[in-house]
Structure 1
């Protein structure tokens, strides 16, 4: 009987440990679900905070006196960043007819980037002065 009592005690202890572990796992799952939900809630907030603002990007190529794009029609919101990325084989002057106006020196090289914002709604023309081309007209609202 001593062996049976010992086995019964071990079985009862094992059952309690397993129940305790099962309870811990469920508590752990609940605990991990709560932070996961908190993290899930926090994650979109973090990604919203880390997401770049809305912006208009215009990729411009100047090669052998030809410009692409020309007369592109775009839309933007007041205060949103507008980025003009330029690869050019010639020097020129990029002029933004907005209020306030912006002027950027284009060099004969790749990978140039110019950023500006518009604070007054209306039509904004982005032009190259030397080549006398309108790259884009942006309706800013």
Structure 2
């Protein structure tokens, strides 16, 4: 497990245990964040042209390690744009409120990282 995933998991556990009253509903898949690890190195992008399933309202977290600057564009309604720096450990989060296909692309490199298949 990577340090950032461990950190995210520990935060989630702390939030869940700290807020638990015994009367709250069980979490659903839509409550759990969908994480996508993105690596940009020497002009290569990983992943490229993948499909990722998600649900309406589910938190989406993009973890980015990059050796160059770029912009991540999320083609949803509303759209999201995130500036990518030439550094490791960047985290960008958003949710999608409308079902359908949502492309996440790198603007300057002109590559689609993944297409979210967002369902109700």
TM-score (norm 2): 0.75
Shift of 1:116: 0.5
**Equivalent pairs, count:** 98
Residue number among 83, 89, 97 corresponding to 1:111 in the alignment = 89
User: 1:45–1:59: structure 2 CA closer, same or farther, 3 Å change rule?
Assistant: farther
Determine if the alignment matches structure 1 residue 125 to structure 2 residue 99.
Answer: no
Equivalent-residue separation in structure 1 for 2:23 and 2:43 (angstroms): 47
Greater fraction of residues in strand = 2
Q: 3-state SS of the aligned residue for 2:37?
A: strand
Equivalent-residue separation in structure 2 for 1:97 and 1:112 (angstroms): 20
What stretches of structure 1 of length at least 5 have no aligned partner?
Answer: 1-41
Determine if the alignment matches structure 1 residue 97 to structure 2 residue 75.
Answer: yes
What stretches of structure 2 of length at least 5 have no aligned partner?
Answer: 1-19
C-alpha deviations, 1:84-133, integer Å up to 9, x for none?
10000000000000010000000000000000000111100000011110
Higher relative contact order (CA 8 A, sep 6+): 2
TM-score (norm 1): 0.64
Shift of 1:68: 0.2
Shift of 1:56: 1.1
Q: Cα RMSD over matched residues?
A: 2.2
Shift of 1:53: 2.6
> For the pair shown, which has the larger CA radius of gyration, 1 or 2?
1
